Structure 1
């Protein structure tokens, strides 16, 4: 699938959620769901890069899918609160490019 802007992803998720009577979960429920997804990501990272191998009985999963789940719930959370994720991203990048401009050691650009 081609690169798509965040606004399009937000619309796609909203169209999906809008077909159900339940709609978006409450902010607290979404935070709990997000925490659960981050835990699943941590488990996958630990299996792949840590000291805890998967049990033979555990189903196959991937870091990519877990990040996708986190992206989905993040979009749901933003949509439910009327937050434009492109605007949020721009504000965060401005913060990193100003406040944190000299925080890290830059690579040589030669």
Structure 2
């Protein structure tokens, strides 16, 4: 992904989970940067788990390589692993609070 490229925008339908192999991205809520993400970081779980639209816009700060997992495969991976599911929900709750969203959005 080239520098400056927007991966998705706040309010869009969420259907993928991402892991950053290299590069740096930033997450923006209402145009304000709330989080920077780099190699080894992941994102997209909060919206997939909560069945929500994207809570932030994500764009590349520099050339970046991402791994992408569609929502069904993400759900299938968590379905049989209670420990991983708890970790994913914990990360999602933290991300929602960081973005200023209510934890109650996650049903």
Fold match by TM threshold 0.5: no
Q: Greater Rg, structure 1 or structure 2?
A: 1
Q: TM-score, normalised by structure 1?
A: 0.29
Q: TM-score, normalised by structure 2?
A: 0.29
Structure with the larger helix share = 1
